[in-house]
Every structure is written in C-alpha cells, then in structure tokens.
Amino acid sequence: MTKRNNLLIFILTVGTFGIINTEMGVIGILPFIADYFHISVSKAGWLVSLFALTVAICGPTMPLLFSGINRKKAMLLVLGIFVLGNIVSLFATNFTIAIIARVVPAIFHPIYFSAAFTIAAHSVPKEESPKAVAKVIMGVSAGMVLGVPIASFLASTLSLQMAMSFFAIVNALTFIATFVFFPSMPVKERLSYGAQVSVLKKTVTWLSIIAVILINSAIFGVYSYLAEYLKTVTEMSPNTISLILFIFGGANMIGNIAAGKLLTKKPIKSVIFYPFILGIVYIILFLIGQFTLPMAIITLVWGIVAGIGNNINQYWITSAAPEAPDFANGLFLTSANLGTTIGTAAGGLFISVFGMQYVVLVGFLSVVLSLISILLRTSLYSPEKQFFR
C-alpha cells in the first residue's frame, strides 16, 4: 500500500510539474514567441497573464463543479485537454489561436491541482498529510525552476517547436501514467454545492484567504523583479543572475521538504512565525542589496522561506474548510494567483515611484498585513487559541 501511494504521489508531482511547466515555461521563450508571431514581447506576455487570470477566476468554481466526478476521470480529462492545447500551440500560426490554446486548458487547471492535493492528503494518515501535499507542491517549484530554463534552452538551441513539444510530452506521459497506475477514484461522500460554498460564510475562511493573498503578494511582489533587482541594484552579470535564480529555485524545493515536516509537527506555530521570518529576510535583503556575496546567501535563505510559504498557503486555507477539501483547494489557487497579480502590480508601482531598491518594501508591507490576518484567525478560531495558552 505504501509503495503504491508513493507511486501515485510521484505521478501527481510530475503532473503538477507538467501543468506548471506549461504555464510558466512560456516565460523563458517569450522573445521567440514574439519573433514567431511578429508581435511585441509585451503582447506575447498575454500568454502568461491571461493564463494566470483564468486560473484565478476558475479556481473555486471548476473544482466545485467537478467535485462529484470520479477523480481519476477528472484528472485524465484535464491532462488530455492540456496535451491537446500543447499540440494546438505547437502548430498555431495565428496568435489568437495560440491564446485560445492557452486559456482553455487554464480553465481546467484548478481541477487537477485540487484533485492532486486532496488525493495526496487522503493517501496517508491525517497527521502525515502535510508531508504528502508538500511532495506534490514540489512539482510546482520544479515547474517554475526547471521549466523556464529548459524551455529557453530548447528554443535557443533547437527551435520554438521543440520547446512547445517538451510541454506536450510531459503532460502526455503523465496522462499515460495516470491511466495505467491510478485506480478508479469515485467520490464516495459528495457534498452538495451549497454545503461546499457555505464555507464562505465562515470568518475563518475569509481571514485565511486574505492571509494567503498577502503572503503570495509578499513573495511575488519582490521575486517577480529579482532579476532586474540583481542587475540594477547588485550590479551582477547576466550569468551570475542566472545562477542566483537557479539557487533560489533549488532552495524553493528544499523549502517544500522543510514545510512538510514543520506543518506535520507544529502547524500553527509555523504559520504564525512565518511572517516574522520572511520580514527579517526582507529587511536584510534591503540593507545588503548592493553586495554580491551577501545577496547570494540571503537569496538562498529567501528561496527556502518562499518554498515553505507555498505549503503554508495551501494548509492555511484547507485547514479553515476541511469539510470541503476540493472547494478549499480551489480557493487556495485563486487566492495565490490573486496575491501574485496584486504583488507584481504593487511592485511595479513602487519601482516606478521610488526606484528598484524599494520594491522590497512591497514584500515587507504585505508581510505585516498577512501577520495581522493570521493573528486575527488564531485569536478567533478556538482550536488555535491553544497556541497562546
């Protein structure tokens, strides 16, 4: 049973990698896409922003609509749509077609992630579920860390089509593995739509949503501009910047592993102390941003902390609505994407008004606000009041 569960979790991890790879890998090939379709890079960026916006909009609704459907069938449907979308993108000669081939899979994106998190959590004893979910979330980190450079390498050394083929191949292999190795997974106790949506009536749910939006805003409001920060403030060379970004990504994966252990042993303490740690990281980053070696070290630490944050976000919302896990995971996806959008926009605003060095303040202010919402939840939600006793 343990070996089978480990295999299923591994396939889910590869599945999340493939889907995130499709979403984020495009970042590494935007210049090639712009040349191919004879458009500007900013217009090519719609392939990223529209995908993320679609996921944010469909985050709660699609998992809710599919909550009564056999999870294996639902995941195969999503993976199949992603494979078809990748193939259409591969042969598209019109940018509008390319946009449609991205947006349609994005609509179904939350279904796979919601199912993956729920299956991972239920495949092990309840106290071990954070570790299982952390392994699946590692696929997200791997997609962000490896997807961008791999796609960029394939496009620059071979062709844009080979980079797009890479996305399709990973999703196709996951489809086959899911079809072969996953048992049928009918939903035994299906909650009505009303019962699931009713979790939005709870104050604890909204406090959790706000916290996740702010934590993701804190992380991506700064990370989105890290490359430019390293170039203009730290004055690093392009090769060094690439190395630092890779270090951040690798550290992010380490953070996933650490988060699984922390949330298994002391979940509430881990969540409460998280904003303090991230805030300290940003204070140090702000003070030593001009120095190469200290900047490399703090980026490593920051990467680990950011990886922990991904898991804390998922735990914080699903623990607020354990009676509706699929819907809660959908809320997590929407909140995380909204946080990324808000943080990135705020970061751009701070840069234009104050200068690149002050983008760190977006992260710090978001951290402070996230701490307030976390403390409000822990003071109102009775099981968590024990932390203060």
pLDDT at res. 388: 40
Please determine, for residue 386, whether its predicted confidence score (pLDDT) is greater than 80. Answer: no
pLDDT at res. 200: 87
Name the region of 38 (left: φ>0; alpha: ψ -120 to 50; beta: rest): left
Instruction: Kindly indicate the confidence band of residue 123, based on its pLDDT and cuts at 50, 70 and 90.
Output: confident
Q: What's the rounded mean pLDDT across residues 323-344?
A: 84
Instruction: Report the mean per-residue pLDDT for the chain.
Output: 86
Please determine, for residue 240, whether its predicted confidence score (pLDDT) is greater than 60. Answer: yes
pLDDT at res. 148: 72
Q: Which position has the token pair 């303040």?
A: 361
Among 42-51, 200-209, 229-238, 372-381, where is mean pLDDT lowest?
42-51
The residue that leads in pLDDT, 227 or 203, is 203
Instruction: Kindly indicate the confidence band of residue 176, based on its pLDDT and cuts at 50, 70 and 90.
Output: very high
Give the integer Cα–Cα distance in Å for 299 and 296.
5
Please determine, for residue 149, whether its predicted confidence score (pLDDT) is greater than 80. Answer: no
The residue that leads in pLDDT, 222 or 188, is 222
Instruction: Kindly indicate the confidence band of residue 384, based on its pLDDT and cuts at 50, 70 and 90.
Output: low
Q: What's the rounded mean pLDDT across residues 96-113?
A: 91
Q: What's the rounded mean pLDDT across residues 93-100?
A: 91
DSSP H or E segment with residue 292:
helix 292-318
pLDDT digits over 340-352, tens only?
888 888 888 888 8
Q: Which domains does the chain have, with CATH numbers?
A: 2-181 (1.20.1250.20), 193-388 (1.20.1250.20)
The residue that leads in pLDDT, 62 or 282, is 282
Find all residues with CB under 8 Å of 200, minimum gap 6, and list them: 206
Instruction: Kindly indicate the confidence band of residue 382, based on its pLDDT and cuts at 50, 70 and 90.
Output: low
- Helix (H/G/I), strand (E/B), else coil: 337: helix
Please determine, for residue 154, whether its predicted confidence score (pLDDT) is greater than 60. Answer: yes
pLDDT at res. 84: 95
Q: What's the rounded mean pLDDT across residues 99-104?
A: 92
pLDDT at res. 385: 55
Among 69-73, 105-109, 132-136, 295-299, where is mean pLDDT lowest?
132-136
56 close to 145: Cβ distance less than 8 angstroms: no
Q: What's the rounded mean pLDDT across residues 33-49?
A: 80
Instruction: Kindly indicate the confidence band of residue 323, based on its pLDDT and cuts at 50, 70 and 90.
Output: confident
Dihedral (C-alpha) 147, 45, 252, 312: value to the nearest 10 degrees?
Answer: -120
Residue 328 structure tokens: 């809660």
pLDDT digits over 242-293, tens only?
788 778 888 888 998 888 888 888 889 999 999 999 999 999 999 998 999 9
80 close to 175: Cβ distance less than 8 angstroms: yes
65 close to 326: Cβ distance less than 8 angstroms: no
- Helix (H/G/I), strand (E/B), else coil: 67: coil
pLDDT at res. 278: 96
Residue type present at position 283: I
pLDDT at res. 383: 61
Please determine, for residue 112, whether its predicted confidence score (pLDDT) is greater than 80. Answer: yes
Give the integer Cα–Cα distance in Å for 125 and 6.
13
267-288 and 360-380 are packed helices; what angle lies between their axes, rounded to 10 degrees?
160
Please determine, for residue 101, whether its predicted confidence score (pLDDT) is greater than 60. Answer: yes
256 close to 311: Cβ distance less than 8 angstroms: yes
**Torsion sign over Cα 14, 15, 21, 24:** negative
